[in-house]
Structure 1
């Protein structure tokens, strides 16, 4: 009745999504958006702007404040990942408009491979010896970048932040390699996706609605065709042990 997709490359899965919709199957995207014409809704963690701004604001705080001049780089998963490309555009805008002392020197893919993210980060530290910060904007690139900084003996000197689960980054937070981890509640995102799919299958979610009753999560906002989970979370040494995912 329902198919939910989270594509690394939206164009690759688009033909299959269109075929499914032609057969009367409800198609939704979650976590990473797809080509919009074959899907009904995108179950989004938060707005792309809020996620991007959260990462940049966190980096600035970890570096010591907006007056700090610093070169930074982004290690992404794939250059074709639609959600990450949208985040990157908002990150660039946030730096240009609010934090002009941040200089974005590189954006590099890691092919959703932690070892590749490690190597990319190593190479960037060699190419930019004065670099002060890395954004790992996928759950694989973030720990890879953190491990590279740690092994280079730069923990606490070169900041690393980004998107990953608290469990995958807990050791790096506790040893001082990472000060802050940005994400959302992944379990709740999965739950919300199932709730949206069930409502579509049952015919209780209609186009044009602005709110959605999401079971134990309560009322969620719908903006256009995006069902929003809510605010981002920031995990630090003070609260990371409170989360287990």
Structure 2
């Protein structure tokens, strides 16, 4: 496999309850879960009626060279360096699209709006964006649409009518499926596990925990949930909480689910320091680079995240398709080059798919 060298910026939070038979899950929200089918590879719900925006009097761009600007939350950080690399891969493959990545050096919505406004004035065919604020970015994106510019989002959404399509890296039920399937494969269908999360009130983690509970009840009903502990996305506290779980539950503890990019490597370190490699699994969302020491020495088997390069690549492909008019409202799937067919979900989103599980077999092929 070709080695990919990229960096990564990952927001502090990554992954959070209906019940198992043994006990109610803690740390989830009170909304119902929508678990995927046990053998599903992607979401299967109908996409619904298109709710995205439409450019005003856009010129015929079919097959013509495109000038596109990519304006992420901020530039100069690994996460968006890697999405930009994916966009450039798509542009090179297509051969008819020139993309410049530009934007603020800090995640500031006012600065991001200024960058977009300037490119509307200077004139571009397309704008790719990852929003710092979904509401505050909407007016300037609508101005772009009114100027006949194609607008596609990725990673961080805007109000739907302020862009045409949004490439969604993962939905909560997809994250839940990846996490629970991997956990069950490592600790067995009847293993006991605990969760290290940020706080019980962190919205995305709470949603993910509820979805994990619903999916586990449906597809891995004999797994035994022990408890959820909070670690405030703090490295030392995450380590200490994992240590507490190890001390409290002893041999009963077979797995720890890490809900953040901080909690997962901290839990792995606790397992390693307690000489429990191969006895207690750690499964969680984390950067491959942070988990390489534990995966490469066979202490931990995996880490989970979406491919940021694939996310940028898909966004680039979508931009070309909307400019050509081959991706239209009402579509139910999208042919995304080397990624194959991606599903349309949530009315006007292209779903990248389930998160990727990195193992010793391929983790060294990625550098982020």
Same fold (TM over 0.5): yes
CA 238–81 in structure 1, closer or farther in 2 if over 3 Å, else same: same
The runs of 4+ residues in structure 1 deviating greater than 6 Å are none
Distance in 2, Cα, partners of 1:225 & 1:61: 34
Unmatched runs of 5 consecutive residues or more in structure 2 = 1-126, 146-150
The Cα offsets for residues 155-190 of structure 1, whole Å up to 9 and x where unpaired, read as 322210112343331210122321222333221112
Aligned residues: 233
The residue number in structure 1 matching 2:217 is 96
The residue number in structure 1 matching 2:300 is 178
Provide the alpha-carbon RMSD of the alignment. Answer: 3.3
Unmatched runs of 5 consecutive residues or more in structure 1 = 8-12
Query: Which deviates more from structure 2 when the two are superposed, residues 21-30 or residues 143-152?
Result: 21-30
Distance in 2, Cα, partners of 1:192 & 1:131: 40
Give 1:1-245 correspondences, 5 Å limit: 1-5=127-131, 13-24=133-144, 26=151, 28-30=153-155, 40-63=164-187, 65-68=188-191, 70-76=192-198, 79-82=201-204, 84-97=205-218, 98-108=220-230, 110-111=232-233, 113-126=234-247, 128-129=249-250, 130-197=252-319, 199=321, 202=323, 204=325, 205-223=327-345, 224-245=347-368
The residue number in structure 1 matching 2:76 is none
Aligned to 1:207, the other structure's residue is in SS state coil
Distance in 2, Cα, partners of 1:95 & 1:212: 30
Query: Computing the radius of gyration over CA atoms, which structure comes out larger, 1 or 2?
Result: 2
The Cα offsets for residues 220-243 of structure 1, whole Å up to 9 and x where unpaired, read as 322232212234433333443454
TM-score by length of 2: 0.53
Residue 105 (structure 1) shift: 0.7
Greater relative contact order (CA < 8 Å, ≥ 6 in sequence): 2
